[in-house]
Amino acid sequence: MLAWGNFSPVLLAYDPLLSRFVALKIQKSARDYAHAALHEIELLSAAAKGDPTNSKCVIQLLDHFKHAGPNGKHICLVTEFLGDSLLRLIRYNRNKGIGLSRVREICRSVLTGLDYMHRELGIIHTDLKPENVLLVSTINPSKDPVRSRLTPILKRPEGNQYRTPSISFSEKMLKTRARRAVAKILQRRVSLGGFTADMVKERSLDGISMKCKIVDFGNACWADQQGDGVIQTRQYRAPEVIIGSGYSYSADMWSFACIAFELATGDMLFAPSTCQSCSEDEDHLALMMETLGKMPKKIATSGTRSKDYFNRYGDLKRVKRMRFWPLERVLVERYGFTEPDAKGLADFLRPILDFDPENRPTAAECLKHAWLNN
Catalytic residue numbers, as ranges:
127
Question: Among 283, 206, 261, 253, which Cα is nearest to 351's?
Answer: 253
Amino acid making up residue 62: L
Angle between helices 249-265 and 339-349 (to 10 degrees): 160
Angle between helices 100-115 and 339-349 (to 10 degrees): 10
H-type helices in 193-272, by residue range? 239-243, 249-265
Taking each continuous run of H as one helix and of E as one strand, the counts in the chain are 12, 9
Q: Are strands 133-135 and 123-124 parallel, antiparallel or unpaired?
A: unpaired
Amino acid making up residue 219: N
Q: Which long-range contacts (CB under 8 A, 24 or more apart) does 32-41 make?
A: 33/7, 33/8, 34/73, 34/75, 36/7, 36/218, 37/8, 37/75, 37/77, 37/218, 38/75, 40/77, 40/217, 40/218, 40/220, 41/75, 41/77
User: Residue 57 and residue 158: Cα distance in Å, rounded?
Assistant: 40
In sequence order, the β-bridge partners of residue 283 are none
Q: Quick one: 96 exposed, middle or buried, by C-beta within 10 A (0-12, 13-18, 19+)?
A: middle
